[in-house]
Structure 1
Amino acid sequence: MNVFGRLAAAAALACFAPCAWSAPARIASINMCTDQLLLALADPEQIAGLGPYARDPQMSWLAEQAKNYPRLSGEAEDLIALNPDLALAGKYGKKATRDLLQDHGVKIAEFDVPRSIEDVKTQVRRVGEIVGHPERARALNDSIDAAAARARASAADGRIRVLAVSRRGWVAGSNGLLSSLLATVGLANSASDLGLRSGGFVTLETVIATEPDLILVAESSPRAEDQGKAMLLHPALDRRYPPARRIVIPEALTMCGGPMLPAALDRLSDAIGRASR
Structure 2
Amino acid sequence: MSAAALRVLALLGALLAAGAAPAAERPSVASTNVCTDQMVMTLSDAAQIKGLSPYSRDPSQSWLAAEARRFKRLSGGAEDLMMLRPDLVVSGSYDKRATREMLQQQGVKVVTFNVMPDSLDEVKQQIRKMAALLGHPDRAELEVARLDAAIARARAAVAPRSLRVLPLWRRGWVSGQGSLISLLFAEVGLINAASDLGVASGGYASLEAIVKSKPDLILVADGADYAEDEGTALLLHPALQRFYPATKRIVIPEQLTVCGGVMLADALDLLVAELTRIAR
**Normalised by the size of structure 2, how large is the TM-score?**
0.84
Tell me if structure 2 keeps the 8 A contact 1:159–1:186.
yes
Report the aligned-residue RMSD: 2.3
Mapped partners of 2:234, 2:79: distance in 1 = 38
Question: Equivalent of 1:182, from 181, 185, 192?
Answer: 185
Mapped partners of 1:24, 1:273: distance in 2 = 42
| Matching residue of 2:276 | 273
Write out per-residue CA displacement over residues 155-194 of structure 1, whole angstroms, 9 at most, x where no aligned residue.
2434311111111222222222211222333311112334
User: SS of 2:191's equivalent?
Assistant: strand
The one-letter amino acid paired with 2:85 is: N
Displacement of 1:242 after TM fit?
0.6
What does 1:107-256 correspond to in 2, within 5 Å?
Answer: 107-112=109-114, 113-221=116-224, 223-256=226-259
Mapped partners of 1:144, 1:165: distance in 2 = 24
Q: Mean alpha-carbon deviation: is it higher for 54-63 or for 42-51? A: 54-63
Whether 1:41 and 2:43 are equivalent positions in the alignment is yes
Tell me if structure 1 keeps the 8 A contact 2:197–2:210.
no
User: SS of 1:154's equivalent?
Assistant: helix
The one-letter amino acid paired with 1:122 is: Q
| Matching residue of 2:91 | 89
Tell me if structure 2 keeps the 8 A contact 1:28–1:48.
yes
Tell me if structure 1 keeps the 8 A contact 2:197–2:205.
no
Mapped partners of 1:172, 1:230: distance in 2 = 18
Whether 1:101 and 2:103 are equivalent positions in the alignment is yes
| Matching residue of 1:62 | 64
Whether 1:32 and 2:44 are equivalent positions in the alignment is no
Write out per-residue CA displacement over residues 206-254 of structure 1, whole angstroms, 9 at most, x where no aligned residue.
3223321111011111542322121222112111211111001111221
Displacement of 1:195 after TM fit?
4.4
Note closer, same or farther for the CA distance 1:82–1:201 as it changes in structure 2 (3 Å cut): farther
Displacement of 1:98 after TM fit?
2.8
Note closer, same or farther for the CA distance 1:218–1:57 as it changes in structure 2 (3 Å cut): same
Tell me if structure 1 keeps the 8 A contact 2:27–2:135.
no
Displacement of 1:202 after TM fit?
2.7
Tell me if structure 2 keeps the 8 A contact 1:222–1:232.
no
Q: Mean alpha-carbon deviation: is it higher for 30-39 or for 59-68? A: 59-68
Tell me if structure 2 keeps the 8 A contact 1:253–1:260.
yes
The one-letter amino acid paired with 1:163 is: L
**Normalised by the size of structure 1, how large is the TM-score?**
0.84
Mapped partners of 1:58, 1:222: distance in 2 = 18
Between the two proteins, the alignment pairs up a number of residues equal to 259
List gaps (5 residues or longer) in structure 1. Answer: 1-18
Tell me if structure 2 keeps the 8 A contact 1:157–1:186.
no
